Chains A and B, each alone.
Chain A
Amino acid sequence: MNSPRIIAMIVVHEGLHVQSYGFRKYLPIGSPVESAREYDRWGIDEIALVLLDRDPKANHRIVAEVSGAMAAPLLAMGGIRTEEDAKAYIAGGADKVGFNFSLTENPELVLKTARRFGQQCVVASMDLVRWAGCWARWDYWKNSRSKEDVFACLRRIELLQAGEIFLNFPEKDGMGNGMEVQVIQQIVKKTPLPVVAAGGIGTTGQACACYLRARPSGIGIGNRLAHFEHSVLLFKEALKKVGAPVRQSVHASYAESPTDAMGRPARKSEKFLSDLLFRRIEPEKI
């Protein structure tokens, strides 16, 4: 059985890794390469690079640099207008490329990429917004909702030979107030493709709630992972406690640590601290 993946989203705006709020406001964090390197060291299961800039050459360079700093799978989304862009991302080390705009505006490009690089390489990215009690895809290009029904779109994505669906929610982006679990669950049930869901994670508990109800193949986390050290390990520890078979690949463990409401490590008891002994872990030579 597959482990549920914890996926770090690195949003890149003007060449910098940024925190994103509502797809509108961006606060800088720093170099996307350094962020990827840290997440990889903390045992991230996948990194989703979201490229907002419109300069293809700069985007190709960032994909290659980020890929060189990590040894986990890399999904690159954003800025893919032509077959050459998809090819450059993949040649630069992306394992998967994500299409959003092209799903409606240039479906031929999605299909061509799947034919050339295989179905497993193509990710359909959908940004969903509430509208009149239903869900609609958000077209960030036109800044309006798309008229196509979300569930009809799922079928079309299958026909376009996409191999995965990446859901995000502009209204949830950066809010940290929980995920849209209900619609995620409906989509997971409806489509035969693996589904990754993102948007709205502020605490480890919210990630656990989404996993328990919707069972997505992966959970995408953006801002919150950049807020504290070893964030990936803490999310995994929380998921493990609710029975998720998460992958563990690093020595550090928070199994015995108390945590605060956000899922960050809290101060340990005085007794524990006074009994503390240090154990040396030699760096592994492979």
Chain B
Amino acid sequence: MKLGIVDYGLGNVGSIRTAFQRLGVSTFLSSNERILRAADGLVLPGVGAFSTAMGQIRKKGLDRVLKKLVKQEKKPLLGICLGMQILAEWGEEFVESRGLGLIPGRVCKLQPGRNRKIPHVGWSRVSVHPPGMEIFSRTLPSDAYYFDHSYAFEAKPALRAATVSWDGQMVAGVVEGRVWGVQFHPEKSQNAGLRLLKAFCVHSGQG
């Protein structure tokens, strides 16, 4: 069992690899289509700005590769933080730009308000919705995850895996088919995060 971490020069790859290592799952880092195809599942990391990330992905031709692997070959994929946001069709960070379009929706800036600090940073518990039952199957009721973002994914209810309470309910996880995305950082959320990553491994058919 092997997971491929998509390498496009941005992202906290080290922490993600350490987390999977703790679960006994081996990972490799690549941007090559042939090598990524050999993986049982893909992880799309990300730290940074939406437009910068998409620029890097296009430069390496990864947008085409990911669409092919995920849409045609049904390879499971987990997007983390910015890696989740770029699954959307559009994002508006710094400049309006097109995303990978693997999950319908768009990414918009959080609006400030009374008692609402931006970025949304810290630990929060999430409410799991029916589409998220698989990826959150191992989550305990007390589990909280670490969030740090100033943009949020806007997706229709049927695609929401989980939401977090922040000025109403904000999307914390999205899912369509075998593509999952989480806004928080499971690799930085201690055991709660490991449980989620384990569920991804299991549901990618590699328990």
A residues contacting B by CB (< 8 A) are: 1-5, 40, 43, 45-46, 64, 67-68, 71-74, 90-93, 95-96, 115-121, 163-164, 192-195, 217-218, 247-249, 284, 286
Cβ-defined partner of B119 (8 Å) among A74, A194, A249:
A194
Which residues of chain A are within 8 angstroms of B58 by Cβ–Cβ distance? none
What are 16 inter-chain pairs, A to B, with CB distance below 8 A? A3-B124, A5-B122, A5-B123, A40-B190, A43-B190, A90-B12, A90-B47, A92-B14, A93-B15, A115-B49, A117-B47, A194-B119, A194-B122, A217-B121, A249-B143, A249-B144
Q: Are A2 and B18 in contact (CB under 8 A)?
A: no
Which residues of chain B are within 8 angstroms of A74 by Cβ–Cβ distance? 188
Q: Are B117 and A116 in contact (CB under 8 A)?
A: no
B197 shortest CB reach to chain A, Å: 9
Q: Are B19 and A192 in contact (CB under 8 A)?
A: no
**B82: Cβ under 8 A from any A Cβ:** yes
Q: Are B14 and A67 in contact (CB under 8 A)?
A: yes
Q: Which residue of A lies closest to B21 (CB)?
A: A68
B63 shortest CB reach to chain A, Å: 20
**B120: Cβ under 8 A from any A Cβ:** yes
A71-B190, A118-B47, A118-B48 are contacts. A217–B117 as well, Cβ < 8 Å? yes
Which residues of chain A are within 8 angstroms of B143 by Cβ–Cβ distance? 249
Alpha-carbon gap, A91 to B10, bound state (A):
9
Q: Are A95 and B14 in contact (CB under 8 A)?
A: no
Alpha-carbon gap, A247 to B121, bound state (A):
14
Cβ-defined partner of B149 (8 Å) among A90, A115, A120, A247:
A120
Q: SS class of chain B's interface: helix, strand, loop or mixed?
A: mixed
Of residues 149 to 207 in B, which have CB atoms within 8 Å of A's CB atoms? Answer: 149-150, 165-166, 185, 187-195, 198
Q: Are A116 and B52 in contact (CB under 8 A)?
A: yes
**B142: Cβ under 8 A from any A Cβ:** yes
Which residues of chain B are within 8 angstroms of A67 by Cβ–Cβ distance? 14-15, 18
Q: Which residue of A lies closest to B13 (CB)?
A: A91
Alpha-carbon gap, A163 to B118, bound state (A):
7
A115-B94, A116-B49 are contacts. A64–B14 as well, Cβ < 8 Å? yes
Q: Are A247 and B117 in contact (CB under 8 A)?
A: no
**B61: Cβ under 8 A from any A Cβ:** no
User: Closest 8 A-B residue pairs measured CB to CB?
Assistant: A2-B122, A194-B117, A120-B119, A120-B148, A93-B14, A247-B123, A163-B119, A247-B144
Which residues of chain B are within 8 angstroms of A93 by Cβ–Cβ distance? 12, 14-15, 18
Which residues of chain B are within 8 angstroms of A40 by Cβ–Cβ distance? 190
Q: Are A73 and B112 in contact (CB under 8 A)?
A: no
Alpha-carbon gap, A1 to B168, bound state (A):
10
A71-B189, A71-B190, A121-B48 are contacts. A2–B123 as well, Cβ < 8 Å? yes
Q: Are B122 and A192 in contact (CB under 8 A)?
A: no
Which residues of chain B are within 8 angstroms of A249 by Cβ–Cβ distance? 142-144, 190-192
Alpha-carbon gap, A257 to B182, bound state (A):
38
Q: Which residue of B lies closest to A71 (CB)?
A: B190
A112 shortest CB reach to chain B, Å: 12
A73-B148, A192-B112, A247-B144 are contacts. A95–B119 as well, Cβ < 8 Å? no
Q: Are B117 and A192 in contact (CB under 8 A)?
A: yes
**B146: Cβ under 8 A from any A Cβ:** yes
A243 shortest CB reach to chain B, Å: 16
Q: Which residue of B lies closest to A218 (CB)?
A: B122
**B23: Cβ under 8 A from any A Cβ:** yes
Which residues of chain A are within 8 angstroms of B49 by Cβ–Cβ distance? 115-118
Alpha-carbon gap, A72 to B112, bound state (A):
26
Which residues of chain B are within 8 angstroms of A45 by Cβ–Cβ distance? 122-123, 146
B22 shortest CB reach to chain A, Å: 8
B125 shortest CB reach to chain A, Å: 8
Q: Are B19 and A71 in contact (CB under 8 A)?
A: yes
Alpha-carbon gap, A74 to B14, bound state (A):
13
Which residues of chain B are within 8 angstroms of A4 by Cβ–Cβ distance? 122
Q: Are A95 and B148 in contact (CB under 8 A)?
A: yes
Q: Which residue of B lies closest to A4 (CB)?
A: B122
Q: Are B190 and A116 in contact (CB under 8 A)?
A: no
Alpha-carbon gap, A12 to B23, bound state (A):
30
